[in-house]
Amino acid sequence: MAEHNLAYNTESLQQQDNQHYLHPFSDHKSLREQGARMIVKADGVYIWDSDGNKILDGMAGLWCTNIGYGQKSLANVAFEQMNELPYYNSFFQCAHPPAVELAKEIAELAPPHMNQVFFTGSGSESNDTVLRMVRHYWNLKGKPEKFTIIGRHNGYHGSTVAGASLGGMKPMHQQGGLPIPGIHHIPQPYWFGEGGDLSPEEFGIQAAQELEKAIQDIGEDKVAAFIAEPIQGAGGVVIPPDTYWPEIKKILAKHDILLIVDEVICGFGRTGEWFGSQYFGLEPDFMPIAKGLTSGYIPMGGVIVSDRVAGVFEQEGGEFYHGYTYSGHPVAAAVARENIRLIKEKGLVEYVKNDIGPYLQQAWKTLGDHPLVGETRGLGLLAALEVVQEKEGRVRFDSDLDVGGMCRNTSVSNGLVMRAVGDTLIISPPMIISRDEVDELITKARKTLDLTMESLK
C-alpha cells in the first residue's frame, strides 16, 4: 500500500479547526490546546493522518466501516443515484425504488417476524423514532398509560434528547437535564465491574432480575418497553453472561412489554450473524440500525419493526406524526444496498462467524497474560480488555491517573486505534480484516500495554 503524499499542512488545519470547528464529544479546552489529529485518507483497515502516519483502525471508524475503507463501488452507486434521482422524500404517499428495494432487502435479513423498516439519518434518530413508535403503538392499543421505557445504566442509544435519555450515561444526563420523563434505568450486566463475588452465571441472573423488579415497582400496566444493546458497545463492550438474555426473555414473556434491541453496533455482521438478536436468539419488536447499514460511507439509519407492531399501525390507521427530510434518502439507500450486496458477495458475515472472528478472539485472549490485564473478552469482531493495577481482586488504578486514556494515546502513536472507556480498552475492527492484520493489531496492542507499564513505573 503506497504511503500518501504529504500535501497537508497539519498546523494550518489545526489552526482553522480551533477557530471554527466545534467537535462532537470533545473537551474543547484540551482539544484547542492539543490540536486535532487530521485524518486525510483511508484504505482497507488503515487510516492515514496529515503527518503521513499509517494507523490500523481497530475501531472501524466509530464501529461503522464494516466493509472497510476504499470500496469504490459504493462511490459509484452514489454517483449514479445522484444523477438519476438525488433526492425525493417518502412523505405524502411518495416513495422511490432505492428505499423500497432496501427495505425489502433488510426485511429478508432480519428475523422472520420483522418485515417493515422506517428509515432515519442516524442511530440517534432511530432511537428517537423508537420512542415515538412505542408510545404510538400503546396509544393505538388503547393503553396510553403504558408509557415508561426501561433502559440500562451505561447503555448508549445516541445523543439526541430521546437517545441520550434512553441511554444510561450519567455525564450525558447531568449536562442535558435528562432523562426526559417516562424513562427508567436498571443496572447493566457488567460482571467484571459489578459482579462482586458472584460467578458470571449467577450475576447474569441477578442483573436480569433487575428488570423484573423494575416492572413490579413501576407496574406492568405502565411499562411500555425494554431497550438494550445485545452487547453494550460504548459502555465498554459489555458482553452479558450466558444466563442474562435467556432470563430476560423469560421475564419479557411473562409481561406485556415490547422489546427494543439496539442493533446500531451489532447489526450487519459484527457478531457473526446479521444481527445480534439472531446471535442471542431474541425476538425484538424494534431493531434500531445505522452504522454498518452503509458501513459509514453515508449517513443512514432505520428501525426494523415487528409484524405485531406494524400490523397495529396498519389496522388502526391514523397518521404517525413523525419523519425526517432524509428518511430513506435515495443516495444513502443506494449506498446501503451496495454495501449489503458486497457484504454478501464477500461472505463477510460467515467470515466473522467461522474464520476471522474466532481467529481474533483466540489471539486477543493471549493478551490476558499481561500484568496489566485483568480480563479479556470478546465476541465476533468485538473485544475488550480490562486494565488493572492488580489482577487478584480486580483492583483498578486510581481513576485520576486515566490509565485507559494513556493506553489509548500510546496505541494511536504506535499505529493502532483502540478506544478507552475508563480503563477498559476496546476494539471493533472492519470485517474485511485479514489474519495478518489481526496479528499486527495484537502485536501493537501488546506493545501499548508494555509501554504503558513502563511509563507507570
Which residues of this chain interact with ligand PLP, rule CB under 6 A?
A: 62, 122-124, 127, 156-158, 229, 233-234, 262, 264-265, 290
State in angstroms the smallest separation of the CB of 288 from ligand PLP. 6
State in angstroms the smallest separation of the CB of 239 from ligand PLP. 14
The three-class DSSP label of residue 262 is coil
Closest of 250, 254, 257, 255 to residue 308, by C-alpha: 257
Cell representation of residue 453: 507499564
Closest of 187, 426, 383, 154 to residue 196, by C-alpha: 187
Nearest to ligand PLP of 229, 338 (CB atom): 229
State in angstroms the smallest separation of the CB of 101 from ligand PLP. 23
Is residue 214 within 8 A of residue 248, CB to CB? The reply is no
How far is Cα of residue 124 from the mean position of the Cα atoms in its chain?
11
Closest of 301, 307, 306, 227 to residue 267, by C-alpha: 301
State in angstroms the smallest separation of the CB of 124 from ligand PLP. 3
Nearest to ligand PLP of 21, 79 (CB atom): 21
State in angstroms the smallest separation of the CB of 410 from ligand PLP. 24
Q: Which residues contact 385 (CB under 8 A, 6 or more apart)?
A: 364, 367, 368, 373, 374, 375, 376, 377, 424, 425, 445
Query: How would you label 285-307 residue by residue, b for 16+ Cβ within 10 Å and e otherwise?
Result: bbbbbbbbbbbbbbbbbbbbbbe
What would you measure as the largest C-alpha separation in the chain, in angstroms?
A: 67
Q: Please list the residues that pair with 375 across neighbouring strands.
A: 386
Write the CA distances from 427 to 154, 157, 233, 421, 441, integer angstroms. Answer: 18, 19, 10, 11, 10
Nearest to ligand PLP of 157, 377 (CB atom): 157
Nearest to ligand PLP of 214, 266 (CB atom): 266
Closest-by-Cβ residue to ligand PLP is: 123
State in angstroms the smallest separation of the CB of 303 from ligand PLP. 11
State in angstroms the smallest separation of the CB of 268 from ligand PLP. 13
Closest of 35, 64, 27, 65 to residue 51, by C-alpha: 35
Nearest to ligand PLP of 262, 338 (CB atom): 262
Nearest to ligand PLP of 300, 449 (CB atom): 300
State in angstroms the smallest separation of the CB of 217 from ligand PLP. 26
- Which amino acid is present at 390? E
Nearest to ligand PLP of 264, 310 (CB atom): 264
Nearest to ligand PLP of 232, 411 (CB atom): 232
